């Protein structure tokens, strides 16, 4: 929980809680979520966070001049970060950025409003309606509230990973869960599903086709819902301009 006021946390406190949840953040997403897409508000916010030594910036994409921000040890006080504190390794950065962009990337061309958030395994295990434990502590989980309602285990293959990576991860987990009566109910309705996050439409097509074949051949139990999603490129997200 935030160390700020319980009823009306400041913008800074809300951003720190946001970073604790996702492991990192980028300015375009913070601007849209917390600063009304205002460049001046966003710059002032990060200047104050830096002055108070609450966040640390690292390079995400040197060519695009894109940085990501993580909590400092001081910034993590009073919070329980899902991903840890400080600079993330290559795989951890890739996973955290993909989940962040999946949850808070820009709306699609139709303008549909999507409401998603990352959740911890501990939060899921406290949810009495779930009735089973997803169990994997290292996996990122998400909840979508709109336009659909579901709990998803995010699978984030590396940029060069083959579809077999996602297939093996899903196969192991789904076979365990289909052995649990409560989990089978969630899997049958898509209320609990797998979300494979990739970075291009070409990889989306490749992974979707390979996963379809794996399900046809029953490497993955029948009826398990698997969504393959192309997440936004963080370097292409719209930066604040006012």
* Residue 133 three-state SS: coil
Considering the domain architecture, whether residues 54 and 161 belong to the same structural domain is answered as: no
Q: Would you say residue 240 lies in a domain?
A: yes
Considering the domain architecture, whether residues 134 and 197 belong to the same structural domain is answered as: yes
CA 112 to chain centre: 19
Considering the domain architecture, whether residues 33 and 74 belong to the same structural domain is answered as: yes
Neighbours of 11 (CB within 10 A): 15
Q: Would you say residue 207 lies in a domain?
A: yes
Yes or no: say if 75 and 46 are a contact pair by the CB < 8 Å rule.
Answer: no
Q: Would you say residue 93 lies in a domain?
A: no
CATH code for the domain in which residue 33 is found:
1.10.10.10
Q: Would you say residue 166 lies in a domain?
A: yes
Considering the domain architecture, whether residues 122 and 208 belong to the same structural domain is answered as: yes
Least confident of 32-46, 56-70, 80-94, 221-235: 80-94
Q: Give kind and range of the element (H or E) at residue 124.
A: helix 121-125
Least confident of 102-106, 162-166, 201-205: 102-106
Considering the domain architecture, whether residues 60 and 123 belong to the same structural domain is answered as: no
* Confidence (pLDDT) at 90: 83
Considering the domain architecture, whether residues 234 and 137 belong to the same structural domain is answered as: yes
Find the mean pLDDT for residues 84-94: 84
The pTM for the full model equals 0.91
| Model confidence band, residue 218 (pLDDT cutoffs 50, 70, 90) | very high
List Cα–Cα distances, 29 to 154, 189, 235, in angstroms. Answer: 20, 32, 11
Q: Would you say residue 212 lies in a domain?
A: yes
| Model confidence band, residue 47 (pLDDT cutoffs 50, 70, 90) | very high
Considering the domain architecture, whether residues 135 and 169 belong to the same structural domain is answered as: yes
Count: domains in the chain: 2
DSSP labels, 188-242: HHTSEEEEEEESSHHHHHHHHHHHHHHHHTTSS-TT--EEEEEPPPGGGSPPP--
Q: Would you say residue 190 lies in a domain?
A: yes
* Residue 108 three-state SS: coil
Q: Would you say residue 28 lies in a domain?
A: yes
Q: Would you say residue 105 lies in a domain?
A: no
The DSSP secondary-structure symbol of 87 reads P
Considering the domain architecture, whether residues 158 and 236 belong to the same structural domain is answered as: yes
pLDDT in tens, 149-167: 999 999 999 999 999 999 9
Considering the domain architecture, whether residues 10 and 76 belong to the same structural domain is answered as: yes
Domain interval for residue 38? 1-88
Considering the domain architecture, whether residues 120 and 31 belong to the same structural domain is answered as: no
Q: Give the β-pairing of 150-155 and 192-198.
A: parallel
Find the mean pLDDT for residues 84-105: 90
Considering the domain architecture, whether residues 67 and 142 belong to the same structural domain is answered as: no
Considering the domain architecture, whether residues 43 and 128 belong to the same structural domain is answered as: no
Print burial letters for 74-101: b (CB count within 10 Å at least 16), e (below 16). ebbeebebbbebeebeeeebbbbbbbbb
Least confident of 27-31, 128-132, 171-175: 128-132
């Amino acid at each position: 929980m935030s160390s700020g006021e319980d009823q009306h946390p400041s913008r800074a406190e809300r951003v720190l809680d946001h970073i604790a949840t996702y492991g990192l953040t980028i300015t375009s997403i913070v601007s849209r979520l917390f600063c009304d897409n205002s460049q001046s508000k966003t710059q002032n916010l990060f200047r104050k966070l830096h002055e108070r030594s609450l966040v640390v910036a690292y390079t995400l994409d040197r060519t695009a001049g894109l940085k990501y921000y993580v909590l400092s040890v001081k910034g993590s006080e009073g919070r329980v970060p899902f991903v840890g504190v400080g600079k993330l390794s290559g795989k951890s950065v890739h996973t955290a950025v993909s989940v962040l962009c999946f949850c808070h990337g820009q709306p699609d061309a139709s303008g549909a409003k999507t409401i998603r958030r990352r959740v911890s395994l501990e939060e899921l295990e406290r949810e009495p309606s779930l009735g089973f434990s997803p169990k994997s502590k290292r996996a990122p989980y998400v909840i979508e509230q709109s336009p659909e309602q579901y709990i998803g285990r995010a699978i984030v293959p590396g940029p060069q990973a083959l579809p077999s990576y996602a297939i093996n991860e899903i196969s192991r987990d789904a076979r365990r869960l289909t052995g649990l009566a409560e989990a089978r109910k969630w899997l049958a309705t898509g209320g609990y599903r797998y979300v494979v996050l990739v970075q291009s439409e070409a990889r989306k097509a490749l992974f979707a086709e390979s996963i379809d074949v794996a399900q046809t051949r029953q490497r993955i139990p029948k009826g398990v819902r698997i969504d393959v999603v192309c997440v936004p490129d963080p370097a292409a997200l719209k930066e604040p301009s006012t």
